[in-house]
Amino acid sequence: MVAKPKLYYFHGRGRMESIRWLLAAAGVEFEEEFLETREQYEKLQNDGHLLFGQVPLVEIDGMMLTQTRAILSYLAAKYNLYGKDLKERARIDMYADGTLDLMLMIAGTAFKPPEEKETNLASILEKAKTRYLPVFEKVLKDHGENFLVGNNFSWADIQLLEAILMVEELDASILSDFPLLKAFKTRISNMPTIKKFLQPGSQRKSPPDSHYVKVVRDVLQF
């Protein structure tokens, strides 16, 4: 029996959430070990598992992988979610990097001082409406297919849905000017593995709260 991938991270979204999404979309079961103490983190570091002293860390195929981008591209390739050739992979990378930029902006807000949060969120929503969502609306319009790259489901589609749902948590009506993205969201959300991941009780994590922020600060000491 092949061992399930094991994910080492905090009990929250952060940089691990896109990895959870990708595994779930591929229909792959995974285990999680949540970091709750500085001692857990130091043990991983002392055992030589944290290449640059950072998490996420994923144990898979006899390897201990770090660096979010490297983990995601390995999983996308392993589970055939990375296009059919180099040109498609380049486009998937472009789209995935764009959505990751947007999601990390949102994730970082939880760690801002209270007086900066409102301004920060307003700035993120403005960028989503003017910089990010129009790009993907145009891609879908020009491409004329159900998916972003080729006509096959890929990592880019998974991560775009993840980003859309995160932005909708800030503004539920944000897709009102983007009909193709609205249809895309419905279409991808109804794919069986993703539909399952979106159900209550799955390994999908909630938005960061004050407890999550405190644990991360205590463990990483910042």
Asked if residue 75 and residue 92 are part of one domain, the reply reads: no
Per-residue pLDDT tens for 166-209? 999 999 999 999 999 999 999 999 999 999 999 999 999 998 88
CATH code for position 130? 1.20.1050.10
pLDDT, tens digit, for every residue of 151-172?
899 999 999 999 999 999 999 9
pLDDT band at 23 (very low <50, low <70, confident <90, very high): very high
Shared domain for 93 and 127, answered yes or no, is yes
One domain for residues 92 and 51: no
Question: Are 94 and 181 in a shared domain?
Answer: yes
173 to 118, 167, 184, 208: CA distances (angstroms): 18, 10, 15, 21
174 located within any domain: yes
What is the tally of structural domains in the chain?
2
44 SS3 class:
helix
Q: Kindly report the CATH number assigned to the domain that includes residue 32.
A: 3.40.30.10
